[in-house]
């Protein structure tokens, strides 16, 4: 059975809660085979798994993708426990300019850390993808931080200029 992006939440759940390392390793393999930004972001959970089978599956997933696909490790850092690492990953994704990062960055607009939200808004402006328009506007309506609002306004202008 082919795995689709709709399967990402279920596979993420397996990575977070399944007691069997072999099942977690299968989830890693399925996520790696998707070659999708959200799938690679979900793989960040497996980076903290100490089971040898899971680690081996992670290495294989990255080998199959190849060194030319640089987004994978950056997307994984979006799920770091360290807000500084998440913020840097946001900025890096904007700099790389790959539209595969848009949806994971939109998810970071809801991050608990203000700097990460600012970094995500900045990166979305750099990518100038219209899919970010509504999520950025929603964040602007609910968050009154002046620096964040300024960053969102800049991102919205960049998106409008791309149309």
Report the pLDDT value the prediction gives residue 148, as an integer from 0 to 100: 98
Between the two ends of the chain, the Cα-to-Cα distance in Å is 38
Report the pLDDT value the prediction gives residue 62, as an integer from 0 to 100: 74
Could you give all domains of the chain from N- to C-terminal order, each with its CATH number?
5-65 (1.25.10), 71-162 (1.25.10.10)
162: exposed, middle or buried (Cβ count in 10 Å: 0-12, 13-18, 19+): exposed
Task: Find the mean pLDDT for residues 81-110.
Answer: 92
Report the pLDDT value the prediction gives residue 69, as an integer from 0 to 100: 57
How would residue 70 be classed by pLDDT, with cut points 50, 70 and 90?
low
Q: Taken in order 26, 30, 33, 37, is the CA torsion positive or negative?
A: negative
Lowest mean pLDDT among 37-46, 68-77, 124-133: 68-77
Identify the CA nearest to 30 among candidates 17, 45, 20, 40. Answer: 40
How would residue 67 be classed by pLDDT, with cut points 50, 70 and 90?
very low
Give percent above pLDDT 70 in the chain. 94
How would residue 68 be classed by pLDDT, with cut points 50, 70 and 90?
very low
């Amino acid at each position: 059975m082919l795995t689709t992006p709709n399967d990402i939440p279920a596979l993420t759940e397996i990575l977070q809660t399944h007691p069997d390392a072999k099942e977690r390793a299968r989830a890693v393999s399925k996520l790696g085979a998707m070659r999708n930004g959200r799938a690679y972001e979900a793989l960040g959970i497996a980076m903290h798994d100490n089971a040898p089978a899971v680690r081996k599956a992670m290495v294989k997933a990255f080998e199959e993708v190849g060194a030319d696909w640089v987004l994978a490790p950056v997307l994984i850092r979006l799920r770091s426990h360290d807000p500084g690492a998440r913020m840097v990953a946001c900025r890096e994704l904007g700099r790389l300019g790959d539209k595969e990062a848009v949806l994971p960055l939109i998810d970071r607009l809801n991050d608990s850390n203000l700097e990460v939200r600012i970094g995500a808004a900045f990166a979305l402006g750099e990518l100038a993808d219209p899919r970010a328009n509504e999520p950025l506007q929603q964040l602007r309506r609910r968050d009154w931080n002046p620096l964040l609002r300024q960053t969102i306004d800049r991102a919205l202008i960049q998106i409008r200029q791309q149309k």
